[in-house]
Amino acid sequence: MPRTRLARVEDVPENGTLGVKTDGGNYLISKMDGEINVFEGRCTHMKGPLRFGKVIDGSVKCPIHGSRFDLLTGEVTKQVVIPLIGKAKDLKKFPVTIQDGEIYVKE
Ligand code: FES
């Protein structure tokens, strides 16, 4: 599995997120109290761009229908606001390597 460089640790705002697109993927990097995690960058409901989501109480809020996802685990912390259009699932979380201040994932 190839390893892909996404960003520098210092590029990710503390208790915030950074969206990164590569040839192979669309990622959301979070830094919560210094801990880096990498998730799928599109909402599991209808592919809302999570890089535009607000961070609220340790979760990112999808800008489309308002589901929220925990920024340490990727778990859904609040479901879609409109109940008749399906549900969001937990975000995929990628294995992360940090080396010399650079963040890598396996795609
Ligand atoms: S696309 Fe994200 S909650 Fe619907």
- Buried residues in 22-59 as b, exposed as e (16+ CB within 10 A): eeebebbbbbbeeebbbbbbbbbbeebbbbebebeebb
- The ranges assigned to domains in the chain are 3-106
Predicted confidence at residue 83, as pLDDT, reads 80
Predicted confidence at residue 46, as pLDDT, reads 96
CATH number belonging to domain 3-106: 2.102.10.10
One-letter-per-residue 3-state SS of 2-36: CEEEEEEHHHCCCCEEEEEECCCCEEEEEEECCEE
What is the separation of C-alpha 1 from the centre of its chain, rounded to a whole number of angstroms? 21
Structure-block tokens of residue 97: 């390597």
Ligand 1, atom 3: closest residue by C-alpha: 65
Which atom of ligand 1 lies at the shortest distance from residue 62's CA?
Answer: 2
Ligand 1, atom 4: closest residue by C-alpha: 65
Which of 54, 65, 68, 90 for a ligand 1 pocket mutation test, highest count of atoms within 8 Å of Cβ? 65
Return the residue matching tokens 């950074």.
18
Per-residue pLDDT of the chain (107 residues; tens, 9 = 90+): 678 999 999 999 999 999 999 988 999 999 999 999 999 999 999 999 999 999 999 999 999 999 999 999 999 999 998 888 899 999 999 999 999 999 999 87
